Amino acid sequence: MTGKVESFATIHPKRVTLKGVAGQKIKGSVRIIPKEKYPFKILGTRTKKGRNIRFNLEEVRNPDGAEYLLTVENLKQERGRYYDIIYLKTDSKAKSEIQINVSGNISGDKKKMKK
């Protein structure tokens, strides 16, 4: 079976990777742009775990219509890795939820590592 798969939205990048040194501000963002053929609004947000990240979703108006900017910030203050998912609930019958994968890779504080 073959066929053309139409995308519901442009999501760039598809995932958020937060990489940096503990104690520094580490942020990432994702643009979510509904396709003209499949317009939708994001009605709510939640995370799978939510322990190591804080996020903000902002609706941005532009001449072509609405788009969304999801900004994700690292909260982990010590060395380590983590994974989470941000769920975006939509009003669309085509796709009621969008998942954004988040991964964090936090290295130790460089000053502490030299000691």
The domain limits of the chain are 9-107
How many angstroms separate the CA atoms of 12 and 29, rounded? 9
SS3 at position 38: coil
Give the model's pLDDT for residue 113: 43
How many angstroms separate the CA atoms of 79 and 72, rounded? 18
User: Which mean pLDDT values do the consecutive 10-residue runs of the chain (115 residues) have?
Assistant: 75 96 95 92 95 95 87 96 97 92 88 47
Q: How many CB atoms lie within 10 A of CB 25?
A: 7
The domain 9-107 belongs to what CATH superfamily?
A: Immunoglobulins (2.60.40.10)
Given a contact cutoff of 8 angstroms between Cβ atoms, the answer to whether 107 and 79 are in contact is yes
